[in-house]
Structure 1
Amino acid sequence: MKTVSLTIDGKEIKAPQGQSVLWAALDNGIYIPNLCALREKATPDASCRLCWVEVEGESQPVTACTQSVAEGMVVDTKGAMALRLARTALELLLASNVVDCANCPASGACELQKIAAHLGVKLKTKRFRKLLRNLKVDSSSPEFTYDPNKCVLCGRCIWVCRQRLGIGALGFAHRGFNRRMSTFGDEPLAKSACQECRECVDSCPTGALCFK
């Protein structure tokens, strides 16, 4: 496969032609915050809006997951505009999610913790007013629990269930602030088409889906 040479944060790297800036950076040890990215996806969702970078020659920041690498490209992951956008996206996300790291089984392995530390954002930010949904936790599965109050709507579990496994037990329900991951007919997981494969839990970047 043909490769291209580019520079990210002053580091010269090579990446396969057509690869996204996000995966090129991650493959070369350069961290760019992200929640919704899955390498298997042919088309990225860019829904988390956390992977902003600045590209030389572009007037505005771009999302690294949707921007393909190019020969001679110069990328800055720490530019002021990109960081401002990423921090705002994270703080808005935190404003509508329960943050209870001390009692969360995912603490220490949670992507939100990693991203907050990387961006210098407090997990209990006060920049935006808290708007919590207080949704019921689904503990019906014998294998895992689903806490929608900790879900960041990244869609990774849904993609894995539908596209990778072909099961289709999970999907998005409702719109706007009420949007959430759900099963068909909003049935408990134990009564849904879920086959208890647990791959949705492995794909979850937060404590929304956790093993029992």
Structure 2
Amino acid sequence: MPEVTPHATPQTSGASRFLQLGTEERVPERPFTDPTHNQQDLLLLHEMRDQLLGTLRSGRKQQEILEQGRGYHGIHIFDAVSLSEQPALAFVGFRSILRPDSPADVREELTRIDAHLVEDLRNDPEPAIFAYSSRQLDSLNWLNLVVLKDLSHMGYWQHSQHHQRASQHLSPHYYQGIRLHNGVLDTGIQGTLRLTSTKYYDFSAGRPWLALRSAF
């Protein structure tokens, strides 16, 4: 299993604010927020969607791949019918950069949480999330793809104790930075992934730095 939780959206205090970034605005001291990274992430997310489609068409609900030159790529389908037939879908892309010195106990707990979250969805008769994929890009970089009916269903995770533990207590000790992409597939699972916003989380300093880019 990957050492990363698929839907860990870090929670921050009400006093924290997201810096609003323009479409092409750059923050030189925060290079991971460069807008060119968004397009690179989107290309990779399209690749992941294509592999998800292959799994869907094969009739499988789970597939684990070891990609040459990269690593683990896990695919989980929780509602194949909705994933195939919904005329429009939403997606979340979770691009994470891990800390090279993250504590072993934190890595192990996040791996357990990841397994619990997947199992909860697999046992849900009407899952809010239709599919989830987790792809290792290299030893410190992961990209996750979550496909769901619409973005309002991301509230599903707010009711999960496992997710709350991961997002509120463990994420800052595990990640250097996160790009959290929201978007839509206007014509369903075979359509083009279109970004609507990206949130940036930088945990490299003592206090998290947050920014939002919502114009594409």
TM-score (structure 2 length as normaliser): 0.22
Higher fraction of strand: 2
Greater RCO, 1 or 2 (C-alpha within 8 Å, sep 6+):
2
Larger Rg: 1
